[in-house]
Amino acid sequence: MQVVDWLIVLSYLIASLGVGIYLSRRASASLEDFFISGRSLPWWLAGTSMAATTFSIDTPLYIAGVVGNRGIAGNWEWWAFAMSHVVLIYVFARLWRRSEVVTDAALLEVRYGGRPAAILRGIKAFLFAVPINCIGIGYVMLAAVKVIGVLGIWTYLGFAPGEQVLGMDPKLLTVIGVSVLVLVYAGFSGLWGVVTTDFFQFFLGLAGAIVVAVYAVRSPEVGGLAGLVEKVPQVTSFDVLAFIPFTLGEGGNWLGVGWSAFAGISASTFMAYVLLQWWTFRRSDGGGEFIQRLVAAKDEAEAEKAAWFFNLMHYVVRTWPWVIVALAALVIYPDLEDRELGYPRLMLDFLPAGMLGLVVASLVAAFMSTVSTSINWGASYLTHDLYQRFLRPGATQRELVAAGRVASVLVTLLGAVAAFFAQDVAAVFRLVIAIGTGPGMVLILRWFWWRINAWAELAAMLAGFVTGLFTTVVPVLTIEDFGLRLFVITVITSAIWITVMYLTPPEAPETLAAFYRKVRPGGPGWRRQRAATGLPPAQSLRHDLLRSGAALVLLFGLLFGAGGALLLRWDVALAMALLALAGGMALRRLARPASANGSQATG
């Protein structure tokens, strides 16, 4: 990197910190201002922030590693979550907004009652704020350390490779530096600062990814998109370009369909992604940072629009620049041992001065948006669900904001510790999925079936966490096949929570009636409460599920249609365009609201 590149990056950092400090006064008024922006976010700001949250400095490295080691089909590891994210648009976004909670942990004492609900809320807040959230922060910081290492910042400052800096390991010093950087504006400005900077950081990050893709594809080594498609199969031993690595029988006979012998992922892993992961994961009903944005939206309609915008940006728009760069890295660096480093290597080798600074700034933007979100989200659990709920119920708003800032520091420190000891971005990502797998079905059913109780959710959460941890990190219990591991976690967790649910009493009738009165979910699972309160459901579950199905067809049609066009597979592009058109037409026909008092509302 040259002086102009450093100036661009430095200018961006100063601007981001300035915005955070400027908005600190707005976030200091109350707990709701600090953590959910006073429930006043428009859809475009909430949706962009949701998209920015899922795009960090680790993401292009992760995609480069996935495509390099498993092919394009390996992206089903995260594409599969589109199913739950589309259901979020029509089923859960409005439910969450009507709940009017500050965190998803706070919902537990709305849905359940008594001491079990309080215990569940406390345990969930701790697990999500500390081990799960901080491991997530850790792998994002690890990616930042990798990029900084490839960019040679310490070498640029005059230190030899491996030499200690100020008496410390360069990795440790790097982790400290990036932690302080994000903490300054996330800790000062709360969610207002996070979502405002997210808006600019997202589009800067997207522009950076497109720039790297264009320069990589236009390089002589690749020779354009046609050269890319021709050369990639020559440097790999598996089917890198397949979206779904099926093979057909002779003459394209679908009766002879089978799993390709050249697939980069196993059939069991693929099936686990598509059939298990999206509904068993701890965010099956939205969860976490997304809920923080949805409950911060102005109203239910804005929350639904925000969820749609996120899906389009996250899956359709951002996927292919990352994938194209990963494919180009395979061609240019066929012998690269750590495939995750292909992305930063391409930046250094092919981007001119000035443009390199812009792309590095885009990666810094992506890093800051994700980590600042995780810090604010984790601090919301520690402050609202632990400190205020159990230690200081009568705390003033000023005290709670101060506690939120202290909690932000604590979460950042723990995330930095996780980053220092982590080694592989993709491996840590899979650990996060594994320890969060299992409770998803309970999280879905609690909205639509009165019989789910606090003990069932607590059992599902703890069983999933323990089983996922043991089958991932304990050598004698480790299950190497990721798909089989998710299946085992799901089966064990389901057996435990179902047993616990039937061995414990249901929630009190008054608790269930109060929850129904507030949220008014559809479906047949609340008929007793519907009759007791005399209130119709606010949504038709059947109609929402039909719209979700049509939207999923539209989304995947757009995703694979764009991919087919970029990879010059015009038959795939045309077929997917027709699929997207069919999904869009079905969605338009379903746009007419179902009658709240009609049969659809209860079905």
Q: What is the pLDDT of residues 87-122, one digit of tens each?
A: 999 999 999 999 989 888 999 999 999 999 999 999
- Integer Cα distance of 332 and 232 in angstroms: 10
Mean pLDDT of 225-233: 94
Mean pLDDT of 210-238: 91
Residue position matching structure tokens 């690269």? 336
Q: What CA–CA distances, in Å, run from 449 to 64, 478, 506, 520, 529?
A: 42, 35, 11, 12, 11
pLDDT for the residue numbered 521: 96
Give the best-scoring range by mean pLDDT among 101-105, 124-128, 195-199, 580-584.
580-584
Mean pLDDT of 557-573: 96
Which residue ranges make up each domain of the chain?
33-238+259-424, 540-593+599-603
Q: Is pLDDT at 251 greater than 60 in this prediction?
A: no
Mean pLDDT of 74-78: 90
Sorted by sequence, the CB contacts under 8 Å of residue 40 that are 6+ apart come out as: 296, 298
Mean pLDDT of the chain: 85
- Integer Cα distance of 297 and 128 in angstroms: 22
Longest dimension (CA), the chain: 75
pLDDT for the residue numbered 398: 87
> What is the Cα gyration radius of the chain?
24
pLDDT for the residue numbered 587: 94
Cβ pair 539, 522 in contact under 8 A? yes
Query: Within 13 A of 14's CA, how many CA atoms are on the CB side?
Result: 6
- Which residue intervals of 80-169 are DSSP H helices? 82-87, 93-99, 108-111, 114-127, 133-151, 153-156
- Higher-confidence position of 428 and 325: 325
pLDDT for the residue numbered 343: 86
Read off the pLDDT band of 552 (50, 70, 90).
Answer: very high
Read off the pLDDT band of 60 (50, 70, 90).
Answer: confident
Helices (H) and strands (E) in the chain, counts: 31, 2
Read off the pLDDT band of 415 (50, 70, 90).
Answer: confident
pTM, whole model, 2 decimals? 0.84
Mean pLDDT of 174-191: 71
Mean pLDDT of 206-219: 92
Q: Structurally, what CATH architecture does the domain formed by 33-238+259-424 represent? A: Up-down Bundle (1.20)
Read off the pLDDT band of 2 (50, 70, 90).
Answer: confident
What's the pLDDT tens digit per position in 429-462? 667 777 777 789 999 999 999 999 999 999 999 9
pLDDT for the residue numbered 263: 63
What's the pLDDT tens digit per position in 307-321? 999 999 999 999 999
Read off the pLDDT band of 62 (50, 70, 90).
Answer: confident
- Integer Cα distance of 573 and 469 in angstroms: 41
Read off the pLDDT band of 273 (50, 70, 90).
Answer: confident
